[in-house]
Chain A
Amino acid sequence: MDNTTPPDPVIELDHIRYAYPGEDPVLRDLSFTLNRGERTGLLAPNGSGKTTLFHVIVGLLPISGGTIRILGRNMESEKDFVWARKKAGLLFQDADDQLFSPTVIDDVAFGPLNMGKTREEALSVSRRVLSFLGLSEFENRITFKLSGGEKKLVSLATILSMEPEVLLLDEPLNGLDQATRTRLTGVLESIDASYIIISHDIDFLLDCTDTIYCLRDGKTEKDTTVHVHSHDHAHMMGHIPHQHK
């Protein structure tokens, strides 16, 4: 790529290490950089630490070594992370964990209100995001009565309403039908943010991302095998990384 503009790192992880209490480290000596405008995929087996990595990035899990920089700022204390969470929107793997307000609009406006927006501003940004996602008629729906796929989309709305600069999407396709997937792909294409997507669906990653990384032994690796393999196709078992000879 012949990028003439110097890279502007959004997320920089430098030799970070994380272990759940009393267990072997899940992330060891992991370094990774996401530059502005980059659209990255993360593809790795179950239990390899993808979700853990996202939670580490926004400071929900404290690292035991290494440094994290978000938009050039060193993450040293909870205060830094509080600031960073407004810049980096995390979509949880399980939408049930993300939604906690009774109605959709309450939930979508929760972030903007916390960021100090007035009631009117929060409502207007929330409505704009809902209509952007084609969810306008969901405004007054009750969150716990939504279907699984609807919850996933509303969760995305709760994050977009905070107007983050980088998105961390943990398996956004979970429970989405073909039409909604296409809509999500369209949304991601038109969005002006850098992002990392965790997904087990390689076709989706090829559509929405420029680079795909893999997590192996607690470290990220650029998966060149997958990278060169970027033509559109679909066939049985097509979701498993593979090569056409």
Chain B
Amino acid sequence: MLSEPFSIGNSVIHRIDPRHRILAAFLYSVVVAVLYQLQALALATAFSGLLVKTAGLDGKAVFRRLALVNGFVALFWLILPFTAKGDILFEAGPLTVYEAGVLMALQITLKSNAIIMAFISLVSTMSFSTLGYALRSLKLPHKLVFLFILTYRYIFVIEQEYRKIWRSVKVRGFSPATSIHCYKTYAYMIGMIFVRAAARADRVYRAMLCRGFNGRFHSLSDFPASGKNGLFLFIAIVCTVLLVSTEWYFHG
């Protein structure tokens, strides 16, 4: 089964028309993705944090999801600071740390966290079928919506399988150490996560087929037009304009 813990809630954000939320999330992340100045990126991270707060999401759950992403980001920290050439920040024994590399890793960290947080609070706060339905009513082609939705689901499935396997390993007394046994366990775990996530995604898809799913999404909930939607979009635009101006100001 797929859990969508964030889609249940009744915050201001949950009540905004999903189409407006998707548009805002898209606009915002495109802008954040092209920002370079640390000041602008820091501001974006603050905006995103505020969004998470407004959506009233469980802080711990958001944190766990971010931790997963930052696991990948950590890889950049392992590589970039030592490989990018240019001004040297400092030297520690045989290692040379380059300024440009550190800067790049920092940018990636801020960017990805800001974008993920915005997506968690704007897009994860709608259910899977509402998301499909909203994308459809934004006139995206069926096939594209379908592809997108399944990709999105997949991420959640992988996370869930990871947690299940981790639990099963823990109850059998596994504790991390530097030993062959430990590395072997990690390797098995990673392999199992992907195998099981794929099998699971396959079974869920079958269950959807059994219930007449034909690539079209429908939504049970109705999102009446309201002044709040317009206001929300306005605020989103103001925030992005602020980000762009900050970028320009410090670009100088």
Which residue of chain A lies nearest to B206 when distances are taken between CB atoms in the complex? A60
Contact yes or no, B129 A101, CB < 8 A: yes
A123 to B214, CA, bound (A): 20
Contact yes or no, B211 A114, CB < 8 A: yes
CB-defined contacts of A90 to chain B, threshold 8 Å = 210
CB-defined contacts of A94 to chain B, threshold 8 Å = 203
Shortest distance in angstroms between B160's beta carbon and chain A's nearest beta carbon?
Answer: 9
Contact yes or no, B203 A92, CB < 8 A: yes
Instruction: Please tell me if A85 contacts chain B, counting CB pairs below 8 Å.
Output: yes
Which residue of chain B lies nearest to A122 when distances are taken between CB atoms in the complex? B220
A159 to B211, CA, bound (A): 7
Instruction: Please tell me if B87 contacts chain A, counting CB pairs below 8 Å.
Output: no
A82 to B129, CA, bound (A): 20
CB-defined contacts of A114 to chain B, threshold 8 Å = 211-214, 216, 218
Instruction: Please tell me if B98 contacts chain A, counting CB pairs below 8 Å.
Output: no
A218 to B151, CA, bound (A): 37
Instruction: Please tell me if A209 contacts chain B, counting CB pairs below 8 Å.
Output: no
Q: Contact size class for A? A: 35 or more
Contact yes or no, B210 A144, CB < 8 A: no
Shortest distance in angstroms between A152's beta carbon and chain B's nearest beta carbon?
Answer: 12
CB-defined contacts of A92 to chain B, threshold 8 Å = 203, 207
A99 to B208, CA, bound (A): 9
Total number of B residues with any Cβ neighbor in A under 8 Å: 27
Contact yes or no, B127 A113, CB < 8 A: no
Contact yes or no, A100 B212, CB < 8 A: no
A90 to B206, CA, bound (A): 10
CB-defined contacts of A58 to chain B, threshold 8 Å = 210
Contact yes or no, B212 A111, CB < 8 A: yes
Q: Which of A89, A102, A158 interacts with B127 by CB under 8 Å?
A: A102
Interface centre among A82, A98, A122, A123 (most CB of B within 10 A): A98
Q: Mark B167-193, 1 if CB is under 8 A from A, else 0.
A: 000000000000000000000000000
Contact yes or no, B127 A82, CB < 8 A: no
Shortest distance in angstroms between B206's beta carbon and chain A's nearest beta carbon?
Answer: 5
A86 to B212, CA, bound (A): 6
Contact yes or no, B222 A119, CB < 8 A: yes
Q: Mark B209-233, 1 if CB is under 8 A from A, else 0.
A: 1111110101110100000000000
Contact yes or no, B211 A111, CB < 8 A: yes
Q: Which of B7, B209, B220, B222 interacts with A60 by CB under 8 Å?
A: B209
Closest 3 pairs between A and B when the two form their complex, measured CB to CB: A114-B212, A113-B218, A111-B211
A-B contact pairs, 25 of them (CB 8 A): A55-B206, A60-B206, A60-B210, A82-B212, A82-B214, A89-B210, A99-B1, A99-B207, A100-B1, A102-B4, A102-B7, A103-B127, A106-B129, A106-B220, A110-B129, A110-B213, A111-B211, A113-B218, A113-B220, A114-B213, A114-B216, A115-B212, A119-B218, A119-B219, A119-B222
Q: Which residues of A contact B (CB under 8 A)?
A: 55, 58, 60, 82, 85-86, 89-90, 92, 94-103, 105-106, 109-111, 113-115, 119, 122-123, 142-144, 151, 158-159, 162
